[in-house]
Chains A and B, each alone.
Chain A
Amino acid sequence: GESVGLHLPTLSVQEGDNSIINCAYSNSASDYFIWYKQESGKGPQFIIDIRSNMDKRQGQRVTVLLNKTVKHLSLQIAATQPGDSAVYFCAENEDDKIIFGKGTRLHILP
């Protein structure tokens, strides 16, 4: 089975608020994690990544947090915009295979 997964299938957030999408992984040997965004009708698009020697990494409006103790990964999106509406996947590098979780659909409320 899959070693990564998402806690919630759908997340609804008010426009302008911050979004937090969570992910749990089971392989403690995984050392590289990635977040992807998939808009309707498109392929997944890289958002941000983090290696296991870090616990936080920031990009433009996005932050990824890694808690190796509890094997938890989160993606924070600041000031959520309508264009952030998509399915978000976490993924991990497991034995040189990039394994994806099932995804969380982010829905933006006006």
Chain B
Amino acid sequence: DSGVTQTPKHLITATGQRVTLRCSPRSGDLSVYWYQQSLDQGLQFLIQYYNGEERAKGNILERFSAQQFPDLHSELNLSSLELGDSALYFCASSPHPETRGEKLFFGSGTQLSVL
């Protein structure tokens, strides 16, 4: 158990809908990262937050947004869902990113199926 909690584990929805994925980082970790993993694909970096502030942005669509709350949990909002958004979404946390290069602790992921 990595200590990172993601909910829900599975989510089935329809095209055009909006969903929210939730992540609780390890106790004490200030950084949260979101990744998307499609079938036979690697992990695509979406966005990173540190202590409530956006720190780095990757290939995140404009239909997607995220935030990190004062209690350090994070939410990833996916709107106007398309079939191609079906994927496994991972959250990871790390203590602090000041030291360049730090290992990430991943949750078990949320499997999103858009029908």
In angstroms, Cα B4 to Cα A46, docked, is 14
Which of A2, A31, A44, A93 makes the CB contact (< 8 A) with B106?
A: A44
Chain A, 20-36, CB within 8 A of any chain B CB = 31-32, 34
Whether A102 pairs with B56 at a CB distance below 8 angstroms is: no
Which of B42, B44, B97, B103 makes the CB contact (< 8 A) with A34?
A: B103
How many residues of chain B are within 8 Å of chain A by beta carbon?
A: 25
Whether B103 pairs with A43 at a CB distance below 8 angstroms is: no
Chain B, 33-71, CB within 8 A of any chain A CB = 33, 35, 41-45, 48, 55-56, 58
Whether B106 pairs with A98 at a CB distance below 8 angstroms is: no
Q: Which of B55, B58, B103: most chain A Cβ within 10 A?
A: B103
Chain A, 51-110, CB within 8 A of any chain B CB = 51, 89, 91, 93, 95-103
Whether B58 pairs with A97 at a CB distance below 8 angstroms is: yes
Which of A32, A43, A91, A97 makes the CB contact (< 8 A) with B90?
A: A43
- Closest B residue to A94 by beta carbon equals B45
Interface residues in chain B, defined as those with a beta carbon under 8 Å from any beta carbon in chain A = 2, 4, 33, 35, 41-45, 48, 55-56, 58, 90, 92, 97, 100-101, 103-109
12 further A-B pairs in the complex, CB-CB below 8 A; given A31-B100, A34-B103, A100-B44: A32-B101, A43-B90, A43-B107, A44-B43, A45-B2, A45-B106, A89-B42, A97-B48, A97-B58, A98-B33, A100-B43, A103-B42
